[in-house]
């Protein structure tokens, strides 16, 4: 039987609709509008596209969107001042500093200067610690989106064998924590893992977050396993015409789909869920800041 395609684009639309409903309720019942501030330093073209898309979707769900675009040579002190002002602004419930930052800025210092309760990316060291100890935290958006899709597909994940390929702070490690929180038996594989194909073959759930185009072939996948492809890799596609490119994931889609029970496509899988989860985190942060009940099903 061919794998079920997990449609992240459609799922993200339902998450955004839930967020929009909750935003309308906050506005109607309490006169509160959740606000998200995005800080962009420099002119990296990919970051500019992400920031524009985040701002547009924030407004579409009825939230307030604020953008701070700072010059590439902004000093650390000036950036920290912008963050401090946002930390103290009661109309702002979520703050996101677009990464990567220019080399002269200390990324850890900058991220850890965001008030943890407004850290909607979930990268602040306090949120990392809270997640690691199973406490209420802000959860990184990409792994949160993966978890939502897995829960939706499987119901309970309890007792399943999960392999996360990649150990980055923004995807691999928090993904592993979330799967552990849902009682999976979790293996984190990485560039030094021995016998990676055999490790992956044991998994009921494979999350690939490597950044290597089509690295995982179908014969690494246990029949019936669920494959979540986080990778976004842009490749030349001369077959589409001169200068054209295409996006591929970290798994070889056709061969994995032939064996898997379910799989996320690239594009249209994990990607759309990431911004939807950013909006979900912002509404959650707003509810927490105001001592109001959080929307159900929108966080870990």
Q: Does 111 help bind ligand NAD (rule: CB under 6 A)?
A: no
Q: Does 114 help bind ligand NAD (rule: CB under 6 A)?
A: no
Q: Does 209 help bind ligand NAD (rule: CB under 6 A)?
A: yes
Q: Does 12 help bind ligand NAD (rule: CB under 6 A)?
A: no
How far apart are the C-alpha atoms of 24 and 35, rounded to whole Å? 13
Contact stretch for ligand NAD (CB under 6 A) within 19-27, 99-107, 209-217, 256-264: 209-217
Which of 18, 118, 119, 121 is catalytic? The answer is 121
Q: Does 244 help bind ligand NAD (rule: CB under 6 A)?
A: no
Active site residue 54: yes
Instruction: Supply angle C-alpha 210, 215, 219, rounded to 5.
Output: 125
Active site residue 103: no
Phi/psi at 92 (nearest 5 deg)? -105, 125
Cβ contact 50:100 at 8 Å: no
Q: Does 178 help bind ligand NAD (rule: CB under 6 A)?
A: no
How far apart are the C-alpha atoms of 74 and 41, rounded to whole Å? 7
Q: Give the contacts of 296 (CB within 8 A, at least 6 positions apart).
A: none
- For the bound state, the minimum distance from the C-beta of residue 28 to ligand NAD, rounded and expressed in Å, comes to 32
Q: Does 270 help bind ligand NAD (rule: CB under 6 A)?
A: yes
Residue 85, helix vs strand vs coil? helix
Q: Which of 211, 217, 218, 268 binds ligand NAD (CB under 6 A)?
A: 211
Q: Does 234 help bind ligand NAD (rule: CB under 6 A)?
A: no
For the beta sheet containing 161-165, the strands, ordered from the edge strand earlier in sequence to the opposite edge, are: 4-5, 262-263, 226-229, 205-208, 161-165, 185-189
Q: Does 251 help bind ligand NAD (rule: CB under 6 A)?
A: no
Residues numbered 188-207 forming contacts with ligand NAD, rule: CB under 6 A: 189-191, 193, 196
How far apart are the C-alpha atoms of 222 and 234, rounded to whole Å? 27
**Environment class of 299 (CB within 10 Å of its CB; exposed 0-12, middle 13-18, buried 19+):** buried
Beta strands in the chain (DSSP E): 4-5, 35-41, 64-70, 94-97, 161-165, 185-189, 205-208, 226-229, 233-236, 245-248, 262-263
Which of 18, 57, 98, 177 is catalytic? The answer is 98
Which of 54, 118, 173, 222 is catalytic? The answer is 54
Q: Does 142 help bind ligand NAD (rule: CB under 6 A)?
A: yes
Q: Does 140 help bind ligand NAD (rule: CB under 6 A)?
A: no
Residue 273, helix vs strand vs coil? helix
Q: Does 81 help bind ligand NAD (rule: CB under 6 A)?
A: no
Q: Does 167 help bind ligand NAD (rule: CB under 6 A)?
A: yes
Active site residue 177: no
The structure tokens 């209420």 sit at: 136
Looking at the Cβ atoms of 32 and 253, the one nearer to ligand NAD is 253
Number of residues that bind ligand NAD (CB under 6 A): 24
Catalytic residue numbers, as ranges: 54, 98, 121
- Interaction site with ligand NAD (CB under 6 A): 142, 165-168, 170-172, 189-191, 193, 196, 209-212, 230-233, 270-271, 274
């Amino acid at each position: 039987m061919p794998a079920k395609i997990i449609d992240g684009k459609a799922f993200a639309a339902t998450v955004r609709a839930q967020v929009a409903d909750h935003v309308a309720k906050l506005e109607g019942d309490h006169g509160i509008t959740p606000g998200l501030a995005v800080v962009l330093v420099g002119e990296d073209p990919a970051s500019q596209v992400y920031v524009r898309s985040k701002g547009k979707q924030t407004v579409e769900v009825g939230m307030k969107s604020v953008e701070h675009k700072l010059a590439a040579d902004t000093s650390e002190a000036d950036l920290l001042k912008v963050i401090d002002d946002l930390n103290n602004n009661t109309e702002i419930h979520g703050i996101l500093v677009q990464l990567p930052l220019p080399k002269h800025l200390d990324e850890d210092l900058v991220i850890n200067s965001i008030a943890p309760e407004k850290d909607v990316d979930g990268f602040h060291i306090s949120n990392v610690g809270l997640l690691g100890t199973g406490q209420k935290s802000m959860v990184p958006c990409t792994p949160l989106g993966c978890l939502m899709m897995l829960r939706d597909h499987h119901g309970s994940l309890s007792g399943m064998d999960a392999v996360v390929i990649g150990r980055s702070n923004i995807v691999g490690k928090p993904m592993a924590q979330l799967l552990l929180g849902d009682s999976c038996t979790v293996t984190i594989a990485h560039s030094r893992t021995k016998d990676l194909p055999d490790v992956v073959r044991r998994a009921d759930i494979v999350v690939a977050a490597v950044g290597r185009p089509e690295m995982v072939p179908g014969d690494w996948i246990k029949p019936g396993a669920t494959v979540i492809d986080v990778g976004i890799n842009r490749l030349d596609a001369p077959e589409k015409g001169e200068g054209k490119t295409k996006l591929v994931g970290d798994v070889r889609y056709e061969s994995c789909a032939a064996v898997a029970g379910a799989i996320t496509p690239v594009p249209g899988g994990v990607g759309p869920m990431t911004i939807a989860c950013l909006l979900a985190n912002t509404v959650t942060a707003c509810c927490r800041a105001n001592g109001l009940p959080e929307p159900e099903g929108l966080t870990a």
